[in-house]
A and B are shown apart, each in its own frame.
Chain A
């Protein structure tokens, strides 16, 4: 009995401790087996990173630096081979309901209407259909797609599909939102618009977000902190806090300070590709 309460006291304390920190990655190492070569490939060597509640963190790095692999591990889709990963103090062992992922491809089920695509994830969790539809409707209006509920994905443009993808992730009401280069496949204009939209949506429901990108100005525009990874296997090269007030809009992209950040991050990445 006494032991029990002691144990629970310890966990409560740990929870309280972790309340401010959503995601804790401690010396995370990720290795996976490549069937083609028959060898283990070290994708992430050592990442230690803490993300606070309501924080927006972007990870940039040269291609092949393991940034997407790291995100997969956080999402619980990939096992990390070393170190610790925890969300709200609970270790991440597999996909869980507290985080949602927005992948680069919209990956909408072509045979489902937009609203049924948005409900897809929570339907899998057994949320009653009526409630799921109501929640989805609200999310669809939040991402600005009201009126498109009964359309099919192929009737929507790439940017709109990506909004549906975002709505599908947000409707699950996650503690942590993971975004894996969600705008990489969009054209430049749509991309800028979507960045702005994402900030608006994020501002509105204050989620904690981890955003992977290879575009430097996207990272600066969105993030509270930009994490620069070294070339693979991934290690953190530098973490740069972005000091712009929120809400932000496109004008900051022409701010001299913005360009300074851009130069600095670009220099860091260039260093990596020259090595």
Chain B
């Protein structure tokens, strides 16, 4: 299965927006930390500023993670791929779906995007979250899942 599933990537603009947001947040934290070290903390702390070189890692990780995430709508189930280092595939048969949520935050609303959260029985948490779908795609998948569930 692993080799046969063809995963659809998330929308490009979602990946870029998420990376940009993480980048911006990292930058804010970096500036605040640097200012604190330079103006408030004792001078011996300044060597610690070397840690700043690690900061580009954050947006990079976000980018890789979003880029890697993908979904596949198959005949009887929906699959999700995620994880950069710990790679995981989740496969959820339609007939075992308990309920579906369409999740749209401020970012999604602005970019005409939507996320799908799919729940199965037995655990309180969701089985899988597929973020960064076109709104129309998300709605289409949702109605497809609901139809499949009822047959």
Same complex for A and B? Answer no
User: Which residues of A come within 8 Å of B, CB atoms?
Assistant: none
User: Which residues of B come within 8 Å of A, CB atoms?
Assistant: none
